[in-house]
Amino acid sequence: MTDITYLEAIREALFEEMERDRKVFCMGEDIGAFGGAFKVTEGLLAKFGEQRVIDSPISEIALVGAAAGAAHMGLRPVVEMQFIDFIANAYDMLTNYVATARYRAFLPCPMVVRGPSGGYVRGGPFHSQNPEAGFLHTPGLKIVYPATAADAKGLMKAAIRDDDCVLFFEHKYLYRRIKEVMPDGDHIVPLGKARVAREGNDVSIVTYASTVWKALEAAEIVAAEGISVEVIDLRTLAPMDDEAIFRTVKKTNRLLIVHEDTRTGGMAGEITARVNETCFEWLDAPVLRVTAADIPLPYAPALEDYVLPQTADIVRAVRRLTAY
Amino acid sequence: MAKARTGRDTPAVTARPSDALSRERKLELYYWMKLTRQLEERLVNLYRQTKVVGGLFRSLGQEADAVGSCFALEQRDVMSPLIRNLGAMLVKGATPVEVLKQYMAKADSPTRGRELNIHFGDIGEAGVTRGFLGQISPLGDMVPVMTGVTMSFKMRGEDRVGLVYVGDGATSTGAFHEGINFAAVQKCPLVVIVENNGYAYSTPTHKQSAVKFFVDKAIGYGVLGLQADGNDVLATYDVTKAAVDHARAGHGVALVELITYRRKGHAEHDNQSYVPAGEIEKWAAENDPIDRYVQVLRSTLGVTDAEIAAIDARIMREIDEATDLAELSGTPDAREALMGVYAEPPAEQPLWFRRDVVADAYGQERPESWGTWNADGAKP
């Protein structure tokens, strides 16, 4: 058994699903001959051919629209956004067309839109975005954002098999930085189920994707001070695992929500509202957020690091919560 | 100087495919056009009785382009209409009772009260489904979707063609451009019909695009471009049949411009104040597609007034029966609103403030109840 990276885990999921089901095919810009900007789809063309690994024009609207049309006809397309920032070009197609198809017309849209997301990579404003909040608001879409290599594989396989459209955000900082041995066999991680990344009793951190690792690092630091932190990795943002969130809040009575995305209108605000409606009596402290500042993500290391949430910010927030 | 090559120069129609249509088939064309017109007239009556709960969209004067073009498709082919393609929907198998129930938001309408007017479809396997895909309101979006539908035909080696309608206005959208370009590159069996009816809502064609004819765009996409008088149902059939044959033979996309005229406003509320005086009347008097076709039927096939009257009577009978049937249907149960956003879960939970509320009361809300309270909360 060898370790494989987060990126290789996604590639393995694509290979396995395309092998398992002839209805699965991939489309995207430079995904075939070149293997994708990050090489996620490397080797797919040689194995599955041009009919099932389609190099497209630079047309995010057409990619998402064509995927929907093919999905209506019973195929299971996987579309790559070269950088997830470009998904904004397909916003209309995703929110107006795809998200409503089942409800308004009983048309299934089993498709995955995936792409490299997130910052900490000196990518600047258009190669670092986290677009989840922009789609969280739209009923009809599912959103996945894994933190570990095994989850990346298992969630991708579940997303491809899901009967609705799944937006699958892959964290590009994690692509080649984390490795693990994949579980045996047909490894599936069900959508909508959070994971306890670390057990603890004093403070809960609810987070996902890159900041799971920062939260774990912070938990280790405060453990030395005698503070026991529980870290919940959401894995799927829509549907959200409310029960897992409420369970940890009722256990520790203190909640910190951490995400790399900007603050206003983000996931953390929504989670806070749900906890407020359901767990008000269980809280011993206000719900706190550590997020990026409401700033387009800048390029210079000093600027980027200042805007994005860091481990020290999380440590500070945990200490503030335990002071109540 | 070499003559600039335009889509219109592409050699296409040599023999007229419509010459091969039997007398029966040619009378069918009349039937579908007249059914479209009379069904819309019935909808106007129902609209005025407030039985149509939303807006009403007419295709008056455009019946030939919708019917003639869709008539060129086979049952297994898939078509995606625009709001003014009721005629194409009927040709493809949508029924008057479905259309009426849809406009009246009935519980057993094709979308169970979820969507408006002719926004409904029936696609999937050939032979099992009728092959029309409901549009959505953002224009141009159906072009990429039909690119995907026809891509599936290609991938599975199915002998099927797709046809998508756009208006002059939709050609300005990014979705139109990306969709037709992707389909062209992939050589998808797709026919794109541009209905040039002179107006997009109130915007005349010359403010929509600087090209004189939309068929000229074909050259920019490297696809076959054809053009016809959209008010001549046989010409429309001929040109679309050539495009469909081209796509079916594996030669890829064809763009067909059909020139017609929108005699009613964007929707029933639109008073068309922006239209130059006399323009609508001139088209109605001189270029009505049904009047024109009746002349053709009389002069070339010897169709008699009695034959026309018999078809007209059959149409009225069918519309009356469909109306009676549609009116019998009930309205949807409010709680159905929460069902089917996703395959899993099959229904959303009611919001906490609706959990113990009887749903029967909904559907009675009226704008008249709004704004009738003073700022201090007292009823006037």
In order of their start, the domains of chain B are: 7-328 (3.40.50.970)
Domain containing A271 — which CATH number? 3.40.50.920
What type of residue sits at position B364? Q
Q: What pLDDT is recorded for position B380?
A: 46
Which of A157, A181, A205 finishes a domain? A181
- pLDDT for res B362: 72
Which among B204, B256, B254 is positioned nearest to B230, based on CA atoms? B256
In the prediction, which pLDDT does B357 show? 74
Phi, psi angle pair for A232, to nearest 5°: -105, 125
What's the token pair of residue A318?
A: 């945990």
The answer to whether position A235 is within a domain reads yes
CA–CA distance, A166 with A55 (Å, rounded to integer): 21
Q: Which helix (H) or strand (E) holds A233?
A: strand A229-233
Query: Which pLDDT score is estimated for B356?
Result: 78
Do A251 and A156 share a structural domain?
A: no
Which residues of chain B make contact with A64, given a CB cutoff of 8 A?
144
Residue A97, chain B, CB below 8 Å: the answer is yes
> Does residue A188 sit within a domain?
no
pLDDT in tens, A104-156: 999 999 999 999 999 999 999 999 999 999 999 999 999 999 999 999 999 99
A119 and A206: one domain?
no
Chain Cα centroid distance, residue A68: 21
Classify residue A167: in a domain, yes or no.
yes
For the cut 50, the answer to whether the pLDDT of residue A275 exceeds it is: yes
Q: Is the ipTM of this complex over 0.85?
A: yes
Number of folded domains that form chain A? 2
Q: Which residues contact A182 (CB under 8 A, 6 or more apart)?
A: A4, A9, A12, A149, A150, A153
Cis ω before A239 (30° cut-off from 0): yes
Quick one: A76 and A13 in the same domain?
yes
Other beta carbons within 10 Å of A131? 21
Same domain? A176 vs A43: yes
Helix (H, G, I), strand (E, B) or coil at A322: helix
Judge if A60 and A167 occupy the same domain.
yes
> Among the three residues A158, A181, A204, which one is the final residue of a domain in this structure?
A181
Domain match, A231 and A263 both: yes
Inspect the interface and report whether the beta carbons of A59 and B149 lie closer than 8 Å. no
pLDDT value for B300: 96
Is A177 in the same domain as A297? no
- Residues of chain A with Cβ-Cβ distance to B186 below 8 Å are 54
Closest CA to B43 of B93, B121, B99: B99
Q: What is the pLDDT of residue B1?
A: 29
Residues of chain B with C-beta less than 8 angstroms from the C-beta of A78: none
From the first residue on, what is the mean pLDDT of each consecutive set of 10 residues in chain B (380 residues)? 40 77 98 98 96 95 98 98 97 98 97 96 95 96 98 98 97 98 98 97 95 96 98 98 98 98 93 95 97 98 98 98 98 93 94 79 62 54
The answer to whether the peptide bond before residue B346 is cis (omega within 30 degrees of 0) is no
Q: Indicate whether A186 belongs to any domain.
A: no
Does A91 lie at the interface with B, CB-CB under 8 angstroms? no
Residues A256 and A312 in one domain: yes
Name the catalytic one among A127, A171, A187, A259: A127
Mean pLDDT, rounded, of chain A: 98
Using the 3D structure, point to which of A181, A204, A230 is the last residue of a domain.
Answer: A181
How many helical (H) and strand (E) elements, i.e. helices and strands, does chain A have? 12, 14
Contact B152 A75 (CB under 8 A): yes
Report yes or no on A172 lying in a domain.
Answer: yes
Q: Are residues A203 and A295 in the same domain?
A: yes
Query: Rounded mean pLDDT of A206-215?
Result: 98
Give me the residue from B185, B345, B352 closest to A57, CB to CB.
B185
Nearest Cα to A127, choosing from A61, A165, A158, A82?
A82
Maximum Cα–Cα distance across chain B: 80
pLDDT at B102: 98
What residue in B sits closest to A67 (Cα-Cα)? Answer: B148
A168 with A217, same domain?
Answer: no
Name the amino acid, one letter, at A41: T
pLDDT score, position B371:
59
Confidence check: pLDDT of A218 > 60: yes
pTM value is: 0.95
Q: Are A299 and A122 in contact (CB under 8 A)?
A: yes
Assign residue A69 the CATH number of its domain.
3.40.50.970
Q: Say whether both A263 and A318 belong to one domain.
A: yes
Minimal CA separation from B147 to chain A, in Å: 5
A26-61: per-residue pLDDT in tens? 999 999 999 999 999 999 999 999 999 999 999 999
> Which CA distances in Å does A86 have to A69, A125, A262, A267?
20, 11, 17, 20
What is the rounded average pLDDT of the residues A243-264?
Answer: 98
Give which of B149, B147, B98, B99 is closest to B126, Cα–Cα: B149
A202 and A174 in a common domain: no
pLDDT given for residue A73 in this prediction: 98
Across the interface, whether the CB atoms of B343 and A106 are under 8 A apart is answered: no
State which residues form the domain around A266.
Answer: 195-322
CB atoms within 10 A of CB A239: 15
Instruction: Give residue B374's pLDDT.
Output: 54
Q: Which residues of B touch A (CB under 8 A)?
A: 111, 114-115, 119-121, 123-124, 133-134, 136-138, 141, 143-153, 155, 174-175, 178-179, 181-182, 185-186, 340-345, 348, 352
A137 is catalytic: no
